[in-house]
Amino acid sequence: MTQAIIVHDKQFVPYISSEEIEKQVSRLAREIERDYAGKRPLFIAILNGAFMFASDLFKHLEIEAEICFIKLASYKGTKSTGKVITAIGLDEELYKRHVIILEDIVDTGKTLHEFLPQLDHNHPSSLKIAALLNKPDSQIYDVKVDYLGFTIPNKFVLGYGLDYDGLGRNLDSIYQLTEE
């Protein structure tokens, strides 16, 4: 891997190489194949961050499977509901499907904690989460990641789909913010 990089005003150092990512993504694909053979799972990839993870994981899969891509938007609900998360682009019928959410990173867990119950309303046969990264030290909301690539400390990362203010998604490995 190359040296430290500057993105906008911040410096990042190499953290997880593309080879390590490839190895873990391939392992996740094998685990999912083992659990979902014959079930034709439906993957729901959450944009923007999960696009590269979703693409690589899907390429590695050798069972029948479907995939769709959604964007989550949060808007102000009523006073009692607070902010409400809504999915844009979710046209698939989830009833009686085996659904696997593909997420780039679980940080506080808020996003998935709020979004999963909405999917559950559609009564899928099963609902699981596959995430490339998890930061257990910053998790506040109870979210169980069923298929996990890497556990990482509570430090900002970018690359492999993850951005810092719009930039860095194209990097094929993951970088970590240097200490300030």
Binding stretches for ligand 5GP (CB under 6 A)? 49, 103-111, 156-158, 162-164
Q: Considering the complex, what minimum distance in angstroms separates the CB of residue 169 from ligand 5GP?
A: 9
Half-sphere exposure in the Cβ direction for 162 (13 Å, CA) = 19
Q: Is 104 a catalytic residue?
A: no
* Cβ-based nearer residue to ligand 5GP, 70 or 111: 111
Q: Considering the complex, what minimum distance in angstroms separates the CB of residue 96 from ligand 5GP?
A: 28
Q: Considering the complex, what minimum distance in angstroms separates the CB of residue 131 from ligand 5GP?
A: 9
* Cβ-based nearer residue to ligand 5GP, 148 or 158: 158
8 Å CB contact between 127 and 121: no
* Cβ-based nearer residue to ligand 5GP, 36 or 175: 175
Contacts 24+ apart (CB under 8 A), 160-164: 160/16, 160/18, 160/21, 160/52, 160/53, 160/132, 161/48, 161/49, 161/50, 161/51, 161/52, 161/53, 161/104, 161/132, 162/49, 162/104, 162/105, 163/48, 163/49, 164/7, 164/8, 164/10, 164/12
* Cβ-based nearer residue to ligand 5GP, 33 or 48: 48
Selected catalytic residue, list 107, 120, 142, 172: 107
Which positions are annotated as active-site residues?
Answer: 107
